[in-house]
Amino acid sequence: MPEHSSSVKSFDAKPHRSLFERLTALISPEPENRAELLDVLQDAHERNLIDADALSMIEGVFQVSDLSTRDIMVPRSQMDMIDITKPIEEWMPVVLATAHSRFPAVDGDRDKVIGVLLAKDLLRYYAEDSFDVRDMLRPAIFIPESKRLNVLLRDFRANRNHMAIVVDEYGGVAGLITIEDVLEQIVGDIEDEYDFDEAEDNILVIRDGDQGARWRVKALTEIAQFNETLDTHFSDEDVDTIGGLVANHLGRVPRKGDQFIFDRVRFEVLRADPRQVHMLLVEKIQGALPDPDA
């Protein structure tokens, strides 16, 4: 009897399967590449098997592995830093005005980042008679522009870091990135200190040099503002925003990863959900256009 009971228990037990295994078990025939898998998931959404938020997050997970740090970092020109060689009274207004939780601390030069200051540590400035800001600095983490977001997210989680300083090939500071920036690629916008809502911040320069300029553009940016900033000549007769222009050109709702060249401007969709596009990476094409068949 004990042997029989043991065998019945073994027979009835169902092996635990991961969510990915359960998803793939429902797919027939099995997709052969990522594009086909995303098509299957899109079809599942249209048949109400998964909701729009779930589909958007799954697409975001795939997108994170394709993007690098340079694609979403806060560029150097937009970074709020504190120079600890100056009296606290000089940069404290910046801390109060921006309301960030963390600040890169530099030693007289924007390329000499020596640590990260947590805003909460400044409370000691008002509570202690002797206060040395250098003693309050946390170690700064430096990463290359080419680092993949999925690898960076894993490092953030493993090392319990929330911010990293991005450096270029020459060791200069190129920008910064936070764990929230990476998570936004998966779950969508998170209201935090790096969100930009003013019209003048709809278009951010993320690279400007010999290799040409690149911009990160909010999809809600009006075409008139886009034309003025990038010196382009797109029509706003049919649509008002750059996101509408992209959707009109594609003939459908843009998806993360979509890329195309339109009137010598390269567009790449950085963030989108099943309803609309949110963020674009834009680059003007210099010289001859690339051969689409190459």
| Residue pLDDT, tens place only, 11-43 | 444 456 566 666 655 555 666 777 777 788 878
Band (278; pLDDT cuts 50, 70, 90): confident
The pLDDT value recorded for residue 209 is 52
| Residues 251-261: b if buried by 16+ CB within 10 A, e if exposed | eeebbbbbeee
Residue 248 has pLDDT above 80, yes or no: yes
The pLDDT value recorded for residue 199 is 54
Report the run of H or E that residue 214 belongs to, with start and end: strand 214-218
| Residue pLDDT, tens place only, 130-161 | 778 888 899 999 999 999 999 999 999 898 88
239: left (phi over 0), alpha (psi -120 to 50) or beta: beta
User: What span, in angstroms and rounded, lies between the C-alpha atoms of 220 and 228?
Assistant: 15
| Residue pLDDT, tens place only, 193-207 | 445 455 557 888 876
- Can you give the pTM of this predicted structure? 0.58
Structural domains in the chain plus CATH codes:
72-179 (3.10.580.10), 196-284 (3.30.465.10)
Min mean pLDDT across 43-52, 85-94, 283-292 is at: 283-292
The pLDDT value recorded for residue 6 is 41
200: number of Cβ within 10 Å: 8
